[in-house]
Amino acid sequence: MSLLAGISGPEDLKKLNLKQLEQLAAELRGELVEKVSRTGGHLAPNLGIVELTLALHSVFNSPRDKIIWDVGHQSYVHKMLTGRREQFASLRQYGGLSGFPKREESPHDSFNTGHSSTSISAALGMALARDLRGERYHVIAVIGDGALTGGMAFEALNHAGHLQKDLIVILNDNEMSISSNIGGLAAYLSRLRTDPMYSRGKEELESLLHRLPPIGPKVLRLMDRLKDSLKYLVVPGMFFEELGFTYLGPIEGHNIGRLKEVLQRAARTKGPVLVHVVTTKGKGYPPAEKDPGLFHGIGPFDPATGEVLAKGGPPTYTSVFGAELVRQAEKDPRLVAITAAMPDGTGLVPFSRRFPQRFFDVGIAEQHAVTLAAGLAAAGYRPVVAVYSTFLQRAIDQVIHDVALQRLPVVLAIDRAGIVGEDGETHQGLFDLALLRPIPGLVLMVPKDEQELRHMLVTALKVEGPAALRYPRGAGVGVPLEGEAQPLPLGRAEVLREGKEAAVFALGPLVYAALEAAERLAQEGLQIAVINARFVKPLDSEVIRSWAMRTGHIITLEEHVVAGGFGSAVLEFLAAEGLKGVTVTCLGVGDNFVPHGRPSVLRQALNLTPEGIIQAVKANLESGAGAKKARPSKAVAGV
């Protein structure tokens, strides 16, 4: 009989014995594989955390006790156990369950996450609020060993150790970030896991130290010192202890009984506690255990074999970027590549194989990645930082302060720019242009297709200062990838179609949607110009001015928030020029976060489709003053 069907909330778990909890773990795994094989999602992290989630909800009382999931991609089991199992078929779909914790979805989701390494800060904030109000509940942050490589996690550990508030940090250590985890801390955790000296019980060691005989005050002091240094050598987790945490572990993370015991102990311990739990990513589903990187975040697959359902179609922007980067690196020994824990996602694996010495995975540390690049550039190298748009948000100060102020030639290859889809609002790449456009001296480009991406990468590498190109997630347009990549003239747009009625300035692959819209409008007798804007900075002011004067109707298109984006740049330019009587429509994302859903569904909802463009053009033509009334200001008269 299914136990899972009888679980409507965490209180139901408290009635189960150990055997039943183990059965439930097996049922949860079956359900995870079945459901995620259809919707896609973060399978391996969730398979690894089944027992830990069961133990947490058995020992603690959510939602009174607060559990904060770092990144939040491993919260599926938590969602199933907190009344959302029935909705699981809608996971990551428009209007359905989110793949990340959402306060608006359930009182059991105490904090929204998506970007890594925030959980300890948020948990500490809640612990402070609890104590300020004199309330009593537990606050628990669950953080992976990958997320622990992020600077924010260290900042929070440092502060929490200082404050000595009651707080539980659970380190879910599976030796994996998305790829293998990296760095000194990962090596330290690995020693904790495997060295027999470290894995001796901490209690046992401490009691042994206490039993050392006290002989006279001087000797006692000496003994104390000795005890301290002994402790350093033999007490596991000394690093965390020195920060002010009580360290419990390492604990076998698939043993529910042991986990419950240790969590109960953590709940009784005063001050901050770190529980080091060792898990296997992908546990219990052989294809995911074998390739946890692939199953970290996966599209629909065949649950029987683990075969990813073939997508086919043109190569992705990511892979075209990765291949072109290798080609350029063959020619220029100064070229180096940097990723913050996303070698696969950013297409840098071929580069890392071809040039292992010139490739740097810095862990989940975007800020460090950018300043590291600045250092390399200051010392004569040509670094390319490949990063998702949403994660670059972390490192804007580093771009301004460490790169741009010194005019260092760092290339930002911004992947997953625009609508990313199923991961939802924490992952949409909708702010990069607005964040980068105000930065003096930075060249900002958007290719219309995968072939132009190649040209733009070469262009960026030629710039004697910072340059960025942003391109979308997923398959390219399917244009031929021919010939050598060629640098483009800086700040020059490309006029693709002439037209007298209005001019559409499109950015990125929306150029193709604009061409389709123009074709359909032509059938209705409306001649619309289509311009591939290419550069957000420097803006092609001549082309904008000339089409504004010729048509009096400008429509801008971007997969980005309109505020501060490309449309804003065009408006600012036209206002500064004093061009009167030009009707401008900016199509893009309004003042809202864009939720999860299939990209095609989201684009439909946002009107970023040929139909949406046709409507916008017609509305612009109807409402506008029109070309005949356009009166160029003195400044541009005669242009």
Ligand X SMILES: Cc1ncc(C[n+]2csc(CCOP(=O)(O)OP(=O)(O)O)c2C)c(N)n1
Which residues sit at the interface with ligand X, rule CB under 6 A?
45, 48, 71, 73-74, 115-116, 144-147, 172, 174, 176-178, 281, 296, 340-342, 364, 366, 391, 394
Smaller CB distance to ligand X: residue 360 or 547? 360
First to last CA, the chain: 80
Catalytic residue among 366, 452, 558, 559: 366
Kindly report the number of other CB atoms within 10 A of residue 491's CB atom.
Answer: 17
**Known catalytic membership, residue 103:** no
Smaller CB distance to ligand X: residue 93 or 113? 113
**Known catalytic membership, residue 270:** no
- DSSP letters spanning 376-390: HHHTT-EEEEEEEHH
Smaller CB distance to ligand X: residue 281 or 470? 281
Q: Tokens 């069907």 map to which residue?
A: 5
- In our burial notation (b when 16+ CB lie closer than 10 A, e otherwise), range 322-335 reads bebbbebbeeeeeb
Segment holding 611, helix H or strand E = helix 610-623
What is the rounded distance in angstroms from the CA atom of residue 170 to the CA atom of residue 173? 9
Smaller CB distance to ligand X: residue 253 or 552? 253
Q: Which residues pair with 506 in a beta bridge?
A: 532, 557
Smaller CB distance to ligand X: residue 147 or 488? 147
User: Given CA atoms 280, 282, 284, 288 in this order, what sign does their dihedral have?
Assistant: negative
> Taking the complex as a whole, how short is the minimal distance between the CB of residue 390 and ligand X, in angstroms?
8
> Taking the complex as a whole, how short is the minimal distance between the CB of residue 41 and ligand X, in angstroms?
12
> Taking the complex as a whole, how short is the minimal distance between the CB of residue 598 and ligand X, in angstroms?
20
Smaller CB distance to ligand X: residue 120 or 445? 120
Q: Are 118 and 70 in contact, with CB atoms under 8 Å apart? A: yes
Smaller CB distance to ligand X: residue 71 or 456? 71
What is the rounded distance in angstroms from the CA atom of residue 405 to the CA atom of residue 394? 18
- DSSP letters spanning 143-204: EETTGGGSHHHHHHHHHHHHH---EEEEEEE-SBSSSB--SHHHHHHHHHHH-HHHHS-HHH
Phi, psi of 334 (to 5 degrees): -80, -10
Q: Tokens 């958007």 map to which residue?
A: 446
Which residue's Cβ lies closest to ligand X?
Answer: 144
The pairing of beta strand 535-537 with beta strand 443-445: antiparallel
Smaller CB distance to ligand X: residue 112 or 177? 177
Smaller CB distance to ligand X: residue 99 or 499? 99
Catalytic residue among 85, 165, 281, 537: 281
Closest CA to 236 of 281, 204, 271, 213: 204
Closest CA to 253 of 24, 47, 20, 34: 47
> Taking the complex as a whole, how short is the minimal distance between the CB of residue 420 and ligand X, in angstroms?
12
> Taking the complex as a whole, how short is the minimal distance between the CB of residue 148 and ligand X, in angstroms?
7
> Taking the complex as a whole, how short is the minimal distance between the CB of residue 282 and ligand X, in angstroms?
10
Kindly report the number of other CB atoms within 10 A of residue 571's CB atom.
Answer: 16
- Residues in contact with 263: Cβ distance below 8 Å, sequence separation at least 6, in sequence order: 55, 56, 59, 60, 168, 275
> Taking the complex as a whole, how short is the minimal distance between the CB of residue 2 and ligand X, in angstroms?
27
Catalytic residue among 382, 394, 537, 545: 394
Kindly report the number of other CB atoms within 10 A of residue 546's CB atom.
Answer: 15
> Taking the complex as a whole, how short is the minimal distance between the CB of residue 571 and ligand X, in angstroms?
32
What is the rounded distance in angstroms from the CA atom of residue 209 to the CA atom of residue 174? 31
**Known catalytic membership, residue 448:** no
> Taking the complex as a whole, how short is the minimal distance between the CB of residue 29 and ligand X, in angstroms?
15
Kindly report the number of other CB atoms within 10 A of residue 381's CB atom.
Answer: 19
Catalytic residues, by residue number, are 281, 366, 394
